[in-house]
A = this chain, B = another copy of it.
Amino acid sequence: MVAGPLPAPSGPGKDRLRLWIRLLRASRTIEAELRERLKKEFNTTLPRFDVMAALYRAPEGMLMSDLSRFLLVSNGNVTGIVDRLVSEGLVARARRNGDRRTSMVRLTEEGSKTFGIIAAAHEGWIGELLGKVSEDDARRLTGMLTSFRSNWEGRE
């Protein structure tokens, strides 16, 4: 996937292949940097940050399946991450009256406070890491990515 330098591919369709490779390398590079900083500065992980970010914007809480869908990861995966966040006191599961299969997951007060702090740092990091991209290019790129993602969403 993360192919790169040496013999530049050429021929029909190669431009898209090259785009994909760049896209993947870019996101992996940034992801690695964020992961490292989250660990060093806040002793947390990217998956936990992702879950907290999702919950932060849903004060009423989210179902496990909502989280799974939103974060694009499997539901078994979310179970483990939420388990750890619960044991850290940052997240709580609340049984529901109506449907006993489900539980509403939400940030605790401490979780919310903690996330606020981390999120501020995170936004600063992104600004720094993408600093060389002009606001204009950022908007243009975002537009392209959005349209190309829309071919995908809710496909199967």
User: Which residues of A pack against B, CB within 8 Å?
Assistant: 1-4, 6-7, 13, 15-20, 22-34, 46, 49-50, 53-54, 57-58, 70-72, 123-124, 126-127, 129-133, 135, 137-142, 144-149, 151-153
Q: Which secondary structure characterizes the binding site on chain A?
A: helix
CA distance A75 to B17 in the complex (A): 26
- Return chain B residues, CB-CB under 8 Å to A30: 20, 23-24, 152
Write 12 A-B pairs (CB below 8 A) sorted by A numbering.
A2-B50, A2-B71, A15-B142, A17-B123, A17-B127, A19-B130, A19-B142, A25-B149, A29-B153, A132-B151, A140-B144, A141-B144
Q: In angstroms, how far is the closest chain B Cβ from the Cβ of A143?
A: 9
A23→B27 contact, CB < 8 A: yes
